[in-house]
Amino acid sequence: MKGKWAAGIPPRNFTWVIKDRLAMSERPGGFAPNHRKVRRQEEIIWLQVQGFNRVVSLLPSSHNLQAYEEKSLASVHYPLPSSGDVRGILTEVYRDVHVRLAGGERILVHQEELGDRVSGVIAGYLLWSSRLPTGPQAVTVLEHLTGHPMGPSGRELVAVAGQLAPVTGQPGTGSTQTA
């Protein structure tokens, strides 16, 4: 690959949450009806060029995990259910992200699209990790970063995060793909 494409292209709606450490976006390659393999490859190349060590997928399915493995980009899959009890999965995600950030890794978290659910998970992490003191502040920060109000499903995830045990323990046990 030559020219400007050699560095890839950023995933759509790419947003830094913690500058140069933690980011979020829609799924590399786009969401289901608009997903393109070539675009996915270009976006994975961009993530590698930018120094990302790990991708955290919150998709209900294992889409993209094989593509990350083929490109030697470490990934972990935490399928976030659309309903029901999410406390266990959020605890695993938060512990994993927290330990890896403390270890100096650069992480991208994504779901199908950059919507309320992924924003709620990230705002919940900021609350859980004591980076922000209250749920409303975490919601406000994410609304500012995304430029969109957070809906009920995202706010519900932040409320759940506020009820979880604070930072302690080792990384979660989600299924991982390592480079």
* Averaged pLDDT score across all residues of the chain: 90
* Residues 8/16, Cβ–Cβ less than 8 Å: no
Query: Distance (Å, rounded) from C-alpha 47 to C-alpha 115?
Result: 20
Query: Using one digit for the tens of pLDDT, what is the confidence trace for 65-74?
Result: 999 999 999 9
Percent of the chain whose predicted confidence (pLDDT) is above 90: 80
Higher per-residue pLDDT: 91 or 36 = 91
Percentage helix, strand, coil for the chain under 3-state DSSP, each rounded to 5: 45, 15, 40
Query: Distance (Å, rounded) from C-alpha 131 to C-alpha 98?
Result: 11
* Residues 40/137, Cβ–Cβ less than 8 Å: no
pLDDT of residue 12: 94
pLDDT of residue 178: 35
* Residues 99/22, Cβ–Cβ less than 8 Å: no
Query: Distance (Å, rounded) from C-alpha 19 to C-alpha 17?
Result: 6
pLDDT of residue 3: 58
* Residues 47/148, Cβ–Cβ less than 8 Å: no
Could you give the maximum distance between any two Cα atoms of the chain, in Å? 50
Per CATH, the number for 11-164 is 3.90.190.10
Outline where DSSP puts E strands in the chain: 15-18, 22-26, 54-57, 74-77, 107-111, 175-177
